[in-house]
Structure 1
């Protein structure tokens, strides 16, 4: 005889079983959908503004660099 804790039945006499009905089963794995496609680039070019581009008179002074009097080599 086997010890009481090793018995297959519990106090009610029911046996512990894995449920096998269709409702208890893990659903089948379906094929994954494809990745999203990139949107096509239309390449629509915007027309230049009708009144022209804004060009302030002192724009060159903001971006110009003063001439350096001496060049040094990196060592």
Structure 2
């Protein structure tokens, strides 16, 4: 069996090594981890005394006055 060697390099042109003619399908979506019917959602309850509301909470979220441009 005799193999002919050609000078230089070339890209393989075989159909086996070529790109597929049809693109593969996209990956499937994973199922949702938890929804409204989830057991965690059923067991969850609101606090009996309500949520914690500190008296100075409004001071944190006050709107600062606009600054005048110095230029």
Q: TM-score range by the shorter chain?
A: 0.3 to 0.5
Q: TM-score, normalised by structure 1?
A: 0.34
Q: TM-score, normalised by structure 2?
A: 0.35
Larger Rg: 1
